[in-house]
Amino acid sequence: MTDWEQERVDRQVQPAPDRYRNALGKYKIDRLASCKGCGRCVEVCKYGVHIKPKGYTFTLRPQDQYCVGPDCAECADSCINQCPNHALVIRRNPTVDCMGDPRWSSDLILSTWHMAETGHTPPEHLECRRGETDGGFDKLVFSFEVEGYESRPVPAAVDPNEIDLSLDLNHRGDGRPQVHIDIPVYGGGMSFGSVSIHTILAKARAMTAWNSFTCTGEGGYHDRLRPYDDHVITQVATGLFGVREETIQRVRIVEFKYAQGAKPGLGGHLLGDKNTPPVARMREAVAGNALFSPFPFHSVYSVEDHKKHVDWIKEMNPTCLVSVKVSTPTDVDMVAVGSFYAGAHIVHLDGSYGGTGAAPDIAKKNIAMPIEYAIPKVHKFLVAEGIRDQITLIASGGIRTAYDALKAIALGADGVVIGTPEMVALGCVRCACCESGRGCPRGIATTDPELVEQMGLEWSTQRLINLQNAWREQMLDVLTRLGMKSIRELRGRSDVLCYIADDAAAGAGAAAGRAGAPVQAEEVAR
Amino acid sequence: MPERYHVHVVPTPPRFHRVGKYGNVDWREDCSRCTNCVKLRCLYNVYKSEAAYNRDPESPVVTLDECKACLSCVQGCTKGLLSVSINPGYLDMGDDYWKPDVLLTTWNQADSGKIPVSGAGYRGKFYGYGFDSIWTDMSEIVRPTRDGIHGREYISTAVDIGPKPMRLRFGADGSLLTPSSPLIELPLPVILDMPAWQVECQHLAEARALAAKHLGTLAVIPVEEVGELDPQLLPYVAPLFGETAGWSAFDRAREQLDHVRMVHLTDSGQVAGMFHIFQESRANIVVAVRMTLTPSTADRIMELAKVGMRVFEVIADQHGRETLADGAPGRHLKDTLRAIHGRLVAAGIRDEVTIIVSGGIALAEHMAKAIICGADAIALDTPLLVALGCRVCRDKTRCCTPNACPCEISAVEPGYGAQRIVNLMGAWHSQLLEVLGAMGIREARRLRGETGRAIFMEDIEREAFGDLCRVSPEQVLS
């Protein structure tokens, strides 16, 4: 229980435009010297790309980020075609090709930016559902995204206002208080040191607004988090940096971090450059030294030891829930069951393609399985064990979009934990330079006093509140299409998903018309 | 406890300015000369080093090769004059297996000897060809290594090469009847092989031999060139006898053979005869047979094992594939190795035989995965060239001749080349430790054939998504 006065944060969507002078768009409009400043483009553009303030002779530089691209440009009444001097040219912006990667395609980054700016679903020219990895979530679609779904029996109409996205996190019935979150999402652990204090606080404030949680990460509990104690998870990781009795006693959820998806089996990494004096102070370490957390906990070498650990936390804080964060080895199902019998309320699976502030490249790609494989494995095993309804299964590590979150839930998770989407909402371009030197050049994952100042707290809080609102809109939309009244109905409903197979027989998709049942042999034959 | 094996890496800068991933477009004529120019604020000083040439003619021409594409300058420029784009020259390097990213990370490791660490999560495709469709396992709570790689415990990467008899035979009087067989313990599961296509030159052979000495491993060098090496290097050299080499080649190399610990024989009709020559006159030398990986490799290994051979090096093509009878590429190593391994296990001789694999091993993870699939050790070829600056242009007519190589590989000074190779191996060794540590395995010998501790895409994909409705890509509504 916290003894600190708690701050309220309004759940209000407000525009939070890009903090850089030149926002990036998928397309770029070049204005040639033949522009006479007639202002025709300002009149025809519906999207606010062209602006000519009163008294100006010429229009401002085009606001590329609002341009919807060739589909609009090819119309007779577009700015391109209407310009009397043919002074406008549109092309794909070469800079966005330098941004992102198959997992976080430039479209996903731009659409996340759009959501963080406006709080609403992005326009159609930005893909906001799937990345370009050709596997995992990117190979899964909902049955209503497949041709022929119209022929399916229409689900009972659902009023979006009645849909419930909230989750209870305590299913053990062990007398500990219920913890209720309003969205099926909470924030992942990011330590002070790996990210800036503004990033940490913005995450905490946004999740306070949405009545959900954020997590301290392994670098200790920063004093500036105290006004949000009720929405903070204290992480106890193998390095035990900054873990004290008080930090465990003041929160409603305590998380054991056994492993992190991006570097499973290896323990946290904080390279020396980023271990600045304030970071070192909180971690009770020597500034400038690289901090490699051990793996595993030095006190846990068996499931029995693990239970002892959980009991220790429960003894110290009699009202908290215990979450166990593990990565995804082949026997992840056994680990989950073991955690349940050890007394955990939440099993948090962290898949191997998740984010990190620093990890060996070899670990990110090659060790342990991606979350898409682990969720159904664990879910099915828990169901078979008959304990599925007594534990909360949370998935993380590679959840990029609201659609990823929904697919994770359809595969069997109760809810998800996100990290990278929040970083992207704050302006991350995935340049992967968070680990060394002065840290993030964009001021998100750094503790460099100068770089941190690039990002204000109000702005960053608003971006994250907006992002969650946009995700919420998309979740409501999907649930409406599926005819479900609650996110809890979606759990384990993998029958609403289809798998995109390159070798799938054409026409087999008619199966999607039958509420997405697996393809029958005779149907393929036909 | 044995003394810890440690690779002494020394930062060794590249000889050439590297090909960068990004380039920029800069509309300088519109510049308003404002005082808070983004170029001055670049966190990586990319623009300053680019401009250094303007002031000092001696300073090298540096393009934006070090640009990390954080886009701060693009987004911050007062007049929006800057764009960044991907350098087409970067994308042109290598091929679809030896990707530009592979070359870049190999160069970085050869520069510094450090394990590549970066921020943000994995950035690539969900899975890919060959080794990219395998994930190694990790051990969550219950594990035999307690401290991981940064702790007190020792994880051994040593492997043994040579015949390993399963039992000893004794005479009635208690005397040992089993002939003593040579066994070489390598401190890391790597030998340094010849590049597949580069015109071989003495510099490179010497660099490999020096690196092998430093690392405590072996360098494969054609027997004709061995004579020119410093005799002190010979224990770290494995002379290679060509297909047609017979008694005369053996005779010519007699002097050097007094010092070597291992030889490689190219597989041919007469390889068994050569093997017996060695067995009779040089019983202290490990004899390996070197063969191209084909669909019948497992049969051939069984055949040669019957006449007593125990060490085999199988050579896949540069993309890790077997070569079919018509010369076309076949299956990838991950499948062929498992087949060979399984065959030897079924015959009950797996532990007596050593399998070394080469070709298509491009990254440290490929080493770990090849061992998981059933190899005892790997022989490195192309990565050694890449460590020296090679861009895998592989243009036999133009580039890969002694005087035409754009990276001037044949001009590499042996000591410098050796240090680059040592650095690369140091980084690979650390990465192997990461994988072993995460798996909770304490020695590389135990990793061999541990397919149960790996996750194969085909299996897990079926397990996770097999019960979902399958649709073709065309059916997905955009």
Residues A423-445: pLDDT tens digits? 999 999 999 999 888 899 999 99
**What's the rounded mean pLDDT across residues A74-88?**
94
Mutation for B interface: A310, A367, A381, most B CBs within 10 A: A367
- Given a contact cutoff of 8 angstroms between Cβ atoms, the answer to whether B56 and B103 are in contact is no
Please name the residues between 236 and 255 in chain B that touch chain A, using a CB distance below 8 Å.
none
Residues B329-382: pLDDT tens digits? 999 999 999 999 999 999 999 999 999 999 999 999 999 999 999 999 999 999
A270 interaction partners in chain B (CB closer than 8 Å): none
pLDDT at A516: 41
Tell me the domain boundaries of chain A. Answer: 27-92, 169-416
B141 interaction partners in chain A (CB closer than 8 Å): 258, 296, 300-303, 305-306, 326, 335, 338
pLDDT at B199: 60
For residue B404, pLDDT over 80 is answered with: no
pLDDT at A518: 42
Handedness of CA B75, B76, B80, B82 (dihedral sign): negative
pLDDT > 90 fraction of chain B, expressed in percent and rounded: 63
Q: Is A138 on the interface with B (CB under 8 A)?
A: yes
CATH node for B22-92: 3.30.70
pLDDT at A514: 41
Question: Are A352 and B80 in contact (CB < 8 Å)?
Answer: no
Tell me the nearest-neighbour CA distance from A305 into chain B, angstroms.
9
- Given a contact cutoff of 8 angstroms between Cβ atoms, the answer to whether A23 and A65 are in contact is yes
pLDDT at A391: 97
Mutation for A interface: B126, B424, B459, most A CBs within 10 A: B126
Q: Is A264 on the interface with B (CB under 8 A)?
A: yes
Report the half-sphere exposure of A97 (CA within 13 A, side-chain side): 17
For residue A162, pLDDT over 90 is answered with: yes
pLDDT at A526: 33
B140 interaction partners in chain A (CB closer than 8 Å): 258-259, 265, 296, 326-327, 329, 331-332, 335
For residue A510, pLDDT over 80 is answered with: no
B71 interaction partners in chain A (CB closer than 8 Å): 24, 95, 98-99, 429, 431
Please name the residues between 391 and 450 in chain A that touch chain B, using a CB distance below 8 Å.
397-398, 411, 420, 428-438, 440-442, 445
pLDDT level of residue A292 (50, 70, 90 thresholds): confident
Return the residue of B nearest to A133 by Cα: B125
Please name the residues between 18 and 37 in chain A that touch chain B, using a CB distance below 8 Å.
18, 20-24, 28
For residue B428, pLDDT over 50 is answered with: yes
Tell me the nearest-neighbour CA distance from A224 into chain B, angstroms.
25
Instruction: Name the residue among B146, B148, B434 with its Cβ closest to that of A360.
Output: B434
pLDDT level of residue A149 (50, 70, 90 thresholds): confident
- Identity at B227, one-letter amino acid code: G
Q: CA-to-CA distance for A331 and A351, rounded, in angstroms?
A: 13
For residue B198, pLDDT over 70 is answered with: no
| Interior/surface letters B272-311, b for 16+ CB within 10 angstroms, e for the rest | bebbeebeeebeebbbbbbbebbeebbebbbebbeeebbb
B124 interaction partners in chain A (CB closer than 8 Å): 101-103, 133, 365
Q: Is B141 on the interface with A (CB under 8 A)?
A: yes
Report the candidate in A521, A134, A499, A148 with the shortest Cα–Cα distance to residue B472: A499
Q: Is B76 on the interface with A (CB under 8 A)?
A: yes
Tell me the nearest-neighbour CA distance from A3 into chain B, angstroms.
35
pLDDT > 90 fraction of chain A, expressed in percent and rounded: 83
pLDDT at A142: 95
Please name the residues between 344 and 363 in chain A that touch chain B, using a CB distance below 8 Å.
352-363
DSSP string, B310-335: -EEEEE--TTSEEE-TTS-EEEEHHH
Residue A333 DSSP symbol: H
Tell me the nearest-neighbour CA distance from B65 into chain A, angstroms.
14
Handedness of CA B308, B313, B315, B316 (dihedral sign): positive
Q: Write the CA distances from B413 to B207, B409, B416, B417, integer angstroms.
A: 8, 9, 5, 6
Report the half-sphere exposure of A233 (CA within 13 A, side-chain side): 33
pLDDT at B402: 67
pLDDT at A201: 97
pLDDT at B152: 59
Question: Are B118 and A148 in contact (CB < 8 Å)?
Answer: no
The number of beta carbons lying within 10 Å of the beta carbon of residue B339 is 16
Q: Is B458 on the interface with A (CB under 8 A)?
A: no
A327 interaction partners in chain B (CB closer than 8 Å): 138, 140
Q: Is B437 on the interface with A (CB under 8 A)?
A: yes
By the 10 Å C-beta count (0-12 exposed, 13-18 middle, 19+ buried), B65 is classed as: middle
Report the candidate in B256, B7, B232, A164 with the shortest Cα–Cα distance to residue B240: B256
pLDDT at B142: 58
Residues B223-256: pLDDT tens digits? 988 988 999 999 999 999 988 777 788 888 888 8
Span A27-92 CATH architecture: 2-Layer Sandwich (3.30)
CA A295: distance to chain centroid?
Answer: 26
- Given a contact cutoff of 8 angstroms between Cβ atoms, the answer to whether A412 and B51 are in contact is no
Question: Are B71 and A331 in contact (CB < 8 Å)?
Answer: no
pLDDT at B202: 79
Question: Are A497 and B467 in contact (CB < 8 Å)?
Answer: no
Tell me the nearest-neighbour CA distance from B359 into chain A, angstroms.
20
B69 interaction partners in chain A (CB closer than 8 Å): 98-99, 429, 431
Q: CA-to-CA distance for B185 and B167, rounded, in angstroms?
A: 19
Question: Are A329 and B146 in contact (CB < 8 Å)?
Answer: no
Sequence-distant (≥ 6) Cβ neighbours of residue B122 within 8 angstroms:
A103, A262, A352, A353, A364, A365
Q: Write the CA distances from A86 to A33, A37, A75, B70, B80, integer angstroms.
A: 10, 12, 14, 33, 22
A266 interaction partners in chain B (CB closer than 8 Å): 148-149, 434, 437-438
Tell me the domain boundaries of chain B. Answer: 22-92, 148-460
Q: Is A176 on the interface with B (CB under 8 A)?
A: no
Residue A396 DSSP symbol: E
Q: Write the CA distances from A253 to A221, A464, A505, integer angstroms.
A: 13, 22, 48
Q: Is B88 on the interface with A (CB under 8 A)?
A: no
pLDDT at B203: 83
Q: Is A259 on the interface with B (CB under 8 A)?
A: yes
B368 interaction partners in chain A (CB closer than 8 Å): 366
pLDDT level of residue B204 (50, 70, 90 thresholds): confident
What CATH class does B148-460 carry?
alpha beta
pLDDT at B399: 67
Tell me the nearest-neighbour CA distance from B27 into chain A, angstroms.
12
A65-79, A489-503, B246-260, B308-322, range with the lowest pLDDT: B246-260
Question: Are B119 and A433 in contact (CB < 8 Å)?
Answer: yes
pLDDT level of residue B407 (50, 70, 90 thresholds): confident
Residues B432-464: pLDDT tens digits? 999 998 888 889 999 999 999 999 999 999 999
Instruction: Name the residue among B71, B143, B471 with its Cβ closest to that of A500.
Output: B471
Question: Are B471 and A509 in contact (CB < 8 Å)?
Answer: yes
pLDDT at B237: 96
Residues B1-56: pLDDT tens digits? 557 788 999 999 998 888 888 887 777 778 889 988 999 999 988 888 777 777 88
Q: Write the CA distances from B213 to A253, B115, B151, B191, B265, integer angstroms.
A: 55, 22, 28, 11, 22
A20 interaction partners in chain B (CB closer than 8 Å): 72, 75-76
For residue A412, pLDDT over 80 is answered with: yes
Superfamily of domain A169-416: Aldolase class I (3.20.20.70)
| B374 vs B397, higher pLDDT | B374
pLDDT at B200: 60
pLDDT at A505: 58
Instruction: Round the average pLDDT of chain B to a whole number and report it.
Output: 89
pLDDT at B147: 57
Q: Is A341 on the interface with B (CB under 8 A)?
A: no
pLDDT > 70 fraction of chain B, expressed in percent and rounded: 94
